[in-house]
Chains A and B, each alone.
Chain A
Amino acid sequence: MQKIKHYLNQTVVKIFLLLFVSFLISWVLSGFPFSDQALSQILFLKPFRTSGLLSPYVYSILILLGINVMLSVSLALLNGFCGLFTMGHAGFMAIGAYSSASFIMFAIPSSTPLLLKLIAAVLIGGSMSAIVGFVIGYSSLRLAGDYLGMVTLGFGEIIRIAILNIDAVGGARGMIDIPQFTNLFSVMFVSALIVLIVKRIRESRFGRTMFAIKENEIAAQMMGINPTKIKVQAFVFSSFMAGMAGALFAHSEGYLSTQTFTFVKSFEIIAMNVIGGLGSISGAIVGGALLTVLPEGFRVLQDFTGIDLRMIIYALTITLIMIFLPQGLMGSKNGNVKEFKWLK
């Protein structure tokens, strides 16, 4: 028993477990297909939107949910752990999305197997974003608090407008005909992987250090911690993961427009964190899921009422949560959700 537990704790085993579970769930949701073609659709990442238990609409919402969870959890590393109030997260997502889309479309032959394409897309998107994250993090970390927010907001918009002016990626028309190979399986696996990474960072000495810097930077320095170094590292990790989310986003829609990556998107990611509870990973997940489902889930109401109530309900829910649970749904002050303690 002890031995089994030991092996289950091995990281490689865990990753395979995540792969298997993601596959199982996508298999179940696509209606237990047994044909070779259907199985290969799940495994080899061909988007399938017609068969299965889910309607194409619900399927696409689930994919968006996974991507939003990735973004929210990656921002938790900066906003929640280090206390860095950054407002340009959509910029990192944009870099991931555009760089991976152009890499797949222009740099490698279209006959490349889909699985390889997916891995390349996620890694290229993440790395490009991490490089930019390093530059932005390094240059803006002299600032703190609101000023850092302003500067990162500016950087986010600069990234967006720079992309808007590159004709090769479509400019204002947007980028079209991007190969679509993001499916539920890949989104679920990557988001689980991101949650695992952030959770491990949180539990390690690096996570403790990040919290220490958030709580009291001077005291942290007196503990022999170089705050700038840790913050830049957090920036790199966070932007890498946001870039991965962006890459998956690019290959799920098949169409990219810079309008998706405005500061409104950045604020949405911050809102996911705040509603879930700053500094908690489970909160970032719940917040990301809630803010994806809320505006979509109430579309059905329109059939009964005739008017579009969903945005009103969306706004009202957020307001009520903030009034009655100012620490967020999973915030540290309402530690009543014991089931999620292991997730931190």
Chain B
Amino acid sequence: MAQMTSTITTTTSNQPLLKLDNMSLYFGGVRANHQVTFSMGEGLLYGLIGPNGAGKSTIFNVITGLYTPTSGDVFFQGESIKGRPSYELAKRGIGRTFQNIRLFKELTVLENVMTSFFHQTPGGYGSALFRTDFYSANEKIVREKSLELLELMGLIDNAEEKAQSLPYGKQRKLEMARALGLNPTLLLLDEPAAGLNPSETKELTNLIAKIQKTKKISVLLIEHDMKLVMEICEKIFVLDYGTLIAEGGAAEIQSNPRVIEAYLGVED
């Protein structure tokens, strides 16, 4: 496994896609993240695990710019993104889903995906008001691309339904489709399998692996379903009480005494 990590750093460009450098985040006296340091290469699937309250979602919120770290720094494609607004990071190619689903409920499924193409579409209000050929052509492209994504996620039959009328599992998939619309280089998935039954989880696992391979993007996923994580993640980070306690491949993590301690505790 150690060998594998070294090949990662040599095969990808010399700077990591994402790097957290001694990143700490405190809410008053609460230590959400403490001196977390890790880096991610391009085109790989990473897992972020840890017991409840370990600070996994806070890391996502830091990477996507919702929180500004108290100290330390975050680098994306070699550039510091500390304190940058979320929408700018999304434009640069960080897509994410949410633990508690945040869809645009009143919009249709198709419209939900189409919103993610907003900043990629040229033309201002003028072209929209006069409905120029330029505008219609762009709108058509966005529509087709969105439909492609829906096809990929298996939501094509629900395209014209309102997002809120979808069953839970499909809502999770729609969130992923929407994040993919950004054309991200880094995709953050916050508990994609939460609330899904075993067969749905299996299907989703394959889907995530497939998307990651075909679109050649880096994925970082938070998940409590260890089977899913161990099966598809090439590298796993383990958090406990806001600090990074282990990183490595699946086998390495499973035998790591500190990880076992964090999850199961130790005998006195």
**Footprint of B on A, CB under 8 Å?**
9, 11, 197, 200-201, 204-206, 208-209, 211-212, 214-216, 218-227, 233, 237, 279, 332
Contacts and interface: CB of A to CB of B under 8 A. Distances in A.
Contact of B116 (A218, A223, A332): A223
Interface string B121-149: 10001001111000100010010000000
B125 A201 contact: yes
Interface string B100-123: 001111110001001111111100
Q: Which 5 A-B pairs have the closest CB atoms?
A: A204-B128, A224-B90, A219-B102, A221-B86, A215-B104
B98 A215 contact: no
Given A11-B130, A208-B107, A224 B91 contact: yes
B128 A206 contact: yes
Given A222-B95, A225-B87, A212 B107 contact: yes
Contacts of A225: 87, 90, 115, 118-119
Contacts of B66: 218
A201 B129 CA distance: 7
B220 interface: no
A214 B106 CA distance: 10
Contacts of B107: 208, 211-212, 215
Contacts of B17: none
B129 A200 contact: yes
Contacts of B102: 216, 218-219
Interface SS of A by simple majority: helix
A79 B178 CA distance: 25
Given A9-B131, A205-B118, A205-B139, A211 B106 contact: yes
Given A211-B107, A215-B105, A216-B104, A224 B116 contact: yes
Given A204-B135, A219-B104, A332-B106, 14 more contacts: A204-B128, A206-B128, A211-B104, A211-B107, A212-B107, A218-B86, A220-B104, A222-B87, A223-B118, A223-B178, A223-B182, A224-B87, A225-B119, A279-B106
A120 to B, nearest CB: 21
A201 B127 CA distance: 10
B56 interface: no
24 contacts: A9-B131, A11-B130, A11-B131, A200-B131, A205-B121, A211-B104, A212-B104, A212-B115, A215-B106, A218-B66, A221-B85, A221-B86, A222-B64, A222-B87, A222-B90, A223-B90, A223-B115, A223-B116, A223-B178, A224-B87, A224-B119, A224-B120, A225-B87, A226-B87
A205 B114 contact: yes
B103 A216 contact: yes
A303 B186 CA distance: 73
A135 B229 CA distance: 51
A135 B242 CA distance: 43
Interface in B50-93: 64, 66, 85-88, 90-91
A75 to B, nearest CB: 18
Nearest to A237: B125
A222 B96 contact: yes
B25 to A, nearest CB: 17
B90 A205 contact: no
